[in-house]
Structure 1
Amino acid sequence: MTRVVVCGSLNMDVVVQSARRPLPGETVLDAEVAFLPGGKGLNQAIAAARLGPPTSIFGAVGDDAFGNTLRGFLADNNVDTLGLHVVTGQASGLALIQVAQGDNAITVASGANRYFSEIMVSAEPRPSEVWVAQFETPLEATRIIMRKARQAGARTVLNMAPFQSYPAALLKSIDVAVLNEIELTQATDITIGTSSALSTVVEACHKLRAKGARAVVATLGPRGAVVVTAESATAIPGAKADVIDTTGAGDCFIGAFAARLVVGATPVEAAQYANVAAARSVERLGAAPSMPTAKEVAARLASA
């Protein structure tokens, strides 16, 4: 069966909106708060499922009210949750997201996500599937899961976020690695900023490819994305958006990318579609709740 399989984190996002973020030691009043499902794994699974392909998630939640809410939200969005494990005595992951002036700052308490392991993944990967992972769950489990998926012939997508030191062998099992400017800088020691030349971004992507990834996608926010393979480097222009909240935009890109990859798109075609989907997602508050439907993305593509 063709499907997207996401292995990763699930959090309850506590989103606090204010006119600006407080300085150290300062209190800012008149903020608004919302409790919204999130976590990179959950966000990416929701993004993929809303765009059409069958989607499953493997991960861990706590035996608490937030865990129940997260499972229910996934089920309501047609994500297969049979691979979710409840970790007794642990709280579900939680992210404090401060939103101000259209940008965000995030602090994560991993909770049950720290206990996710490869033995929780009971499904056997298939060549027709796309398997997705991130860096919010234990990296050794990710290495084992991605290696098994790649050996089975599935396509593998790794979102190297939030960046941390990773097992050297991990990238050898990855078809497509996806990073933003900050993560690409951390992964390659080549400084990538908002004004970096395309050639510098491509150089950094090739440096990461040399470590094993078959293709690298650099997401550049309003500037779009760059897709680097052994054969070419393709720049994808940014899509226009009326920005309300950028939380989850990168996860939307990953989920949409996997959703197109699983139906036969090339990395460049998948990135072009994902770029538009991510632009649509920033026009609503929250991470998972902001993920667009296939109809919404089609409408945006038609009007471009």
Structure 2
Amino acid sequence: MKKPRITVIGSINMDLVTKTSTVPKVGETVIGESYFTIPGGKGANQAVAAARLGAEVTLIGCVGDDTFGGELKRHLAQQEVSTDYIKTISDTSTGIAAITLSEGDNSIIVVPGANNFVTPEVVKHHEHLIAKSDIVLLQLEIPLSSVLEATELAQKHNVPVILNPAPIQNLPKDLVLQVDYMTPNEHEQEMLLSNSELSAAELSQIKEKCIVTQGSKGVKLYQTEEQLIPSYPVEAVDSTGAGDSFNGALAVSLSKGMSLQEACQFANAVGALSVTKLGAQAGMPTLEEVEKFMSAY
């Protein structure tokens, strides 16, 4: 069977992770338990998730000409993500995310760095990759104008687009109406549907595109009627990257021709497995692990 061909356009970061039992208040210093540097960024995370599940994945993005940039490109290549279209930007730092882990949850500060250089011109230059994709996967950690350019090019070539609208911001009407699927959490969906520029019919159309992730509760769909696809109960170790795992898995399963309900069930299993290990990419399961996990249910 032909491997799903997925193009991810998005961020590449190094995650600087601190684990602590107590999150400091403003002006307070606490002693942490441990510190790690872990490959991350929503674009890279989703690319690795899809590659682990057997897809042929190309990542379009930018890194800086620093130690993190070289390390991240080598790591992505080891994960069998094509790095041929990752550009190294001179005199610029690679993007980072400062992550604090406490009691199984996380708080994150992202500094985009080289991710800001994923411009519409860069996206346009890679139109040939978009044209031959089964699905294009996008997020909002690169310039919004580039996300819109990628969506318009995908629509031109009849390639479906999944938009993970995170971190959430005000989105142009053209973008939300053009994408095929959106994967907000509950807060992000609320913001998407509060756009005063949209008519009632357009709001209804956007709501039907939403696959709303609700953590341990599962995901909510709005196709012919509201439907909850339940998640799988697991003991969470680190929730970082769970949403990215879900998005990568959703892209793979839809590319294989699964129904939306089947795709969400599969993606829920991937997301659940991802939180049982420390680190966004380190916790992402292989196809074999997911199939074994799902067969137990």
- Which category of TM-score, normalised to the shorter sequence, fits these structures? over 0.9
**8 Å contact 1:19–1:31 — kept in the other structure?**
yes
CA distance in 2, matches of 1:213, 1:69: 40
Task: Trace 1:1-304 onto structure 2 (pairs within 5 A).
Answer: 2-121=4-123, 122-124=126-128, 125-126=130-131, 129-189=134-194, 210=204, 212=206, 215-229=209-223, 231-304=224-297
Question: What's the secondary structure of 2:155's corresponding residue?
Answer: helix
Contact kept? 1:13, 1:37, Cα under 8 Å:
yes
1:7-48 Cα offsets, whole Å, 9 max, x none, are 000100001001121111111114200000000000000000
SS in 2 for 1:60: strand
Structure 2: which 5+ runs fail to align?
Answer: none
Q: How many residues align?
A: 288
Could you tell me whether the CA contact under 8 Å between 2:189 and 2:210 is conserved in 1?
A: no
- The CA distance in 2 between the partners of 1:256 and 1:208, in whole Å, is 28
Q: Do the aligned partners of residues 106 and 46 (structure 1) sit closer, same or farther apart at CA in structure 2, a change above 3 Å counting?
A: same
- Taking a change above 3 Å as real, the CA distance of residues 63 and 3 of structure 1, as seen in their structure-2 partners, is same
- Contact 2:127–2:153 (Cα < 8 Å) also in 1: no
Matches of 2:240 and 2:52, distance apart in 1: 17
- SS of the residue corresponding to residue 274 of structure 1 reads helix
Of stretches 245-254 and 180-189 in structure 1, the one that deviates more from structure 2 is 180-189
Partner Cα separation in structure 2 for residue 93 and residue 61 of structure 1 = 7
- Using a 3 Å threshold, how does the CA distance of structure 1 residues 17 and 40 change in structure 2: closer, same or farther? same
- Per mean C-alpha deviation after superposition, the further-off stretch among 3-12 and 144-153 is 144-153
Q: CA deviation at 1:79?
A: 0.5
Mapped to 2, the partners of 1:213 and 1:150 lie a distance apart of 19
Q: What fraction of aligned residue pairs are identical, expressed as a percent?
A: 35
Q: CA deviation at 1:208?
A: 7.2
SS at match of 2:173: coil
| Residue identity opposite 1:130 in structure 2 | I
TM-score, with length taken from structure 1: 0.90
Q: Give TM-score scaled by structure 2 length.
A: 0.92
CA distance in 2, matches of 1:30, 1:154: 46
Query: Hey, what's the Cα distance between the residues in 1 that align with 2:258 and 2:213?
Result: 18
Please give the alpha-carbon distance, in whole angstroms, between the structure 1 residues aligned to 2:134 and 2:77.
Answer: 20
**1:95 to 1:83, Cα distance in 2 relative to 1, 3 A:** same
**Letter paired with 1:181:** E
Deviation at 1:212, TM superposition (A): 4.8
Partners of 1:214 and 1:155 lie apart in 2 by 15
CA distance in 1, matches of 2:152, 2:116: 20
